Amino acid sequence: MAQDTPVTQHFIRQIVQADRASGKHGGQVVTRFPPEPNGYLHLGHAKSICLNFGLAAEFAGRCHLRFDDTNPAREDPEYVQAIQDDVRWLGFNWDTLRHASDYFAVFYLGAEKLIRLGLAYVDDLDAEQMRAYRGTLTEPGRNSPFRERGSEESLDLFRRMRAGEFADGSRTLRAKIDMSAGNINLRDPAIYRIRKVTHQNTGDVWPIYPMYDYAHCVSDAVEGITHSLCTLEFEDHRPLYDWFLRQLDLPGDPALTAPLREKGLWLPPGTPQQIEFARGNISYTVMSKRKLLALVQDKLVDGWDDPRMPTLSGLRRRGYTPAAIRMFWERIGISKQNSLIDLGVLEGCAREDLDVRAPRRMAVLDPLKLVIGNLPDSHAERLAFANHPKDAAQGTRSVPFARDLWIERDDFMEAPVKGFHRLVPGGEVRLRGVGIVRCVDVVRRGDGAIAEVRCMLDPETRHGMAGAERKVKGTIHWVSARDAVTAEVRLYDRLFNVPDPDDETGGLTYRDHLNPHSRRVVTGYIEPAAAGLAAEDRCQFERLGYFVADRHDHAHGRPVFNRVVTLRDSWAKPAAS
């Protein structure tokens, strides 16, 4: 279990600590992460995962992974698998894996119980009529003409709904609570609707499906969940959550959970408490699954794991480490205050984590030839480079050095601007790990473009020589042209070019804010040791940023790297590539 970041105090942790101290829930902590398998997990889900699995681990409790699959039309086994992969990748493991559909028989028995208690009825109003009867925030609702139908009649109709006798939407099972309640969620909410759709888990067994508010609290109860953590928009649903559980009394009614005993899925039922916290929202991205799905379907990105996506599989492919994502949510904390978190904070966590762990390598992405005039064409040398400037345990590697090198085109300026401290005609620069060179000539092609720069290497500045410590203003990186390996390098930037692409004022939508420059693919030259990295290995290309060998496309002899993040925040200042 991931336990690398210091634990910070927050109000949910305080509640859990107080409950343990008072012996509530038998002193236990049982949480769950309940995704709907209708898309891939995104960064917002990671907040909930870190919170739920983190609390369970800290207090020696359990955390369940539960697929909330009560909405069959939008769900898919592909998502069920991807969600498990992503949770594990993030560093967590569930104690128990369940589907809400495992409890369909319990939901059904619970509904019959509510009908028998006179607390639920079958309504023949259609969706539109029900809406009209519901009232508004300022006006109470009206009772349905079917509200006073007797229990026997409702029970018969409900059984026939379950038998598939009626058309979709023609009847609904509703809780009988209070049509004039100030809280609209209590105005006789729907419990079951007719929906003749094949379910990814139960096939065509059920023509009726329970509503979220009913299924969720019952699922929590039958799993013995103690603390049911959800986002703030469910605050107004809490009275309903508690109402269902009070009326059903699952711990006190073994008949309701009998189907689980038969299936070997029984756990001691409990009375969970719902606690709400603020959703995590992050700037320069969207995190609704509906919008992410549209980006995928409309091919605005290359799939759910496109490295620009805020999905966990996208972040993974981009090269983010699970530790950086956990560190990010730990740092943001848990509160009841909704806010938009700066994407730069996440990027900062990636830099911080990768700075410590990523070995250094050299790569040139926009090559200009540099020829050292005072070395023979045949010069071949191997230099020992530390893999990491602050971590000797990462060892050294051998970097080939020769007469002809690649340097970055923008490390040379023929007519330098003020403050330019790299290579200029007649000027000196340090070649990283080699010594100081002076530019003595600029060679042009027929069309006038610069073909190469010629330099002289000062032998007195080489390693171990008297002038090795001589100071010059700039140091640049390089790759031996003869030894370089050609690589495809994908330079990613933010997917959206405004902080809040969800903001639809002015008639624009998130699609209007897509950053047209969010991906640039270049051919670069990398040192041989970088080409030897395995897929998903990360490194820092010195001065260029942190990179990862692409999970899918990188292969021996055909390196493909994705830039995770630049070394500095280029959005805070005018962009530098």
335 lies in the site for ligand ATP, by CB under 6 A:
no
Residue 180 or 288: the one with the smaller Cβ distance to Mg ion is 288
Give the separation between CA 350 and CA 328, rounded to whole angstroms. 9
**Do residues 535 and 319 touch, judged by C-beta distance below 8 A?**
no
Q: Which two tokens stand for residue 570?
A: 């280029």
**Which stretch in 6-14, 282-290, 394-402, 452-460 sits in contact with ligand ATP by CB under 6 A?**
282-290
Q: Which of 3, 8, 288, 509 binds ligand ATP (CB under 6 A)?
A: 288
Query: Can you read off the two tokens belonging to residue 553?
Result: 């496309």
Applying CB under 6 A, the span of 43-51, 161-169, 195-203, 454-462 interacting with ligand ATP comes to: 43-51
Which contiguous run of DSSP H or E holds residue 476?
Answer: strand 475-476
Q: Which residues contact 526 (CB under 8 A, 6 or more apart)?
A: 361, 362, 363, 364, 479, 484, 485, 487, 541, 559, 561
Q: What CA–CA distance (Å, rounded) separates 350 from 549? A: 16
Q: How far is CA 566 from the centre of its chain?
A: 19
Q: Which stretch binds ligand ATP (CB under 6 A): 32-40, 445-453, 482-490, 512-520?
A: 32-40
421, 378 Cβ separation under 8 angstroms: no
R_g of the chain computed on alpha carbons: 31
**Residues with active-site annotation:** 36, 279, 289
Residue 43 or 487: the one with the smaller Cβ distance to ligand ATP is 43
Q: 287 with 281: CB under 8 angstroms?
A: yes
66 touches, from Mg ion, ligand ATP, none (C-beta below 5 to 8 Å by class): none
Are the C-beta atoms of 5 and 330 separated by less than 8 Å? yes
CB-nearer residue toward ligand ATP: 110 or 280:
280
| Interactions with ligand ATP, residue window 227-246 (CB under 6 A) | 230-231
Among 48, 219, 271, 285, binds ligand ATP (CB under 6 A): 48
Backbone angles phi, psi at 163, to 5 degrees: -80, -5
How many whole angstroms separate alpha carbon 160 and alpha carbon 176? 20
* 287 interacts with ligand ATP by CB under 6 A: yes
Burial of 258-287, coded b for 16+ CB within 10 Å and e otherwise, reads ebbeeeebebebbbbbbbbbbebbbbbbbb
Residues 54-83, interacting with ligand ATP (CB under 6 A)? 68
Binding residues for Mg ion, rule CB under 5 A, total: 1
Choose the binding region for ligand ATP from 42-50, 123-131, 198-206, 492-500 (rule: CB under 6 A). Answer: 42-50
Q: Which residues contact 100 (CB under 8 A, 6 or more apart)?
A: 34, 66, 67, 68, 69, 70, 215, 216, 219
Residues 6+ apart with CB under 8 A from 183: 236, 239
Q: Select 34 or 259, whichever has its Cβ closest to ligand ATP.
A: 34
By a kind-dependent CB cut-off of 5 to 8 A, residue 34 interacts, out of ligand ATP, Mg ion, none, with ligand ATP
Residue 51 Cβ, how far from Mg ion at the closest point, in Å? 16
DSSP 483: T
User: Is 85 a binder of Mg ion (CB under 5 A)?
Assistant: no
Nearer to ligand ATP, 92 or 546 (CB): 92
CB of residue 555 vs Mg ion: minimum separation in angstroms?
Answer: 38
Nearest by Cα to 124 from 79, 158, 86, 90: 158
Number of residues engaging ligand ATP in binding (CB under 6 A): 15
Our CA dihedral for 344, 350, 355, 361, rounded to 10 degrees, sits at -100
Using CB positions, name the residue nearest to ligand ATP.
44
Q: How far is the CB of 339 from ligand ATP (least distance, A)?
A: 11
Q: Binding residue for ligand ATP (CB under 6 A) from 25, 34, 222, 285?
A: 34
175 membership: H or E segment, kind and range: strand 172-175
With CB under 6 A as the contact rule, the residue among 19, 35, 491, 531 that binds ligand ATP is 35
DSSP result, 457-469: E-GGGSTTSTTTT
Nearer to ligand ATP, 49 or 362 (CB): 49
Instruction: List alpha helices for 177-253, DSSP H.
Output: 212-222, 238-248
Hey, which residues between 56 and 75 contact Mg ion (CB under 5 A)?
none
For residues 44 and 141, which CB has a smaller minimum distance to ligand ATP in the complex? Answer: 44
Candidates 239-247, 254-262, 281-289, 433-441; binding stretch for ligand ATP (CB under 6 A): 281-289
Give the nearest distance from C-beta 281 to ligand ATP in angstroms.
6
- By the rule CB under 6 A, 155 interacts with ligand ATP: no
Q: Return the ∠ at Cα 82 (arms to 78 and 87), rounded to 5°.
A: 155
* Plot region of 398 (φ>0 → left; ψ -120 to 50 → alpha; else → beta): beta
Q: Does 36 bind Mg ion (CB under 5 A)?
A: yes
Task: Tell me whether residue 334 or residue 439 sits nearer to ligand ATP (CB atom).
Answer: 334
CB of 196 to ligand ATP, least distance (A): 24
When the beta carbons of 32 and 519 are compared against ligand ATP, the nearer one is 32
Positions touching Mg ion (CB under 5 A) are 36
Positions touching ligand ATP (CB under 6 A) are 34-36, 44-45, 47-48, 68, 230-231, 279-280, 287-289
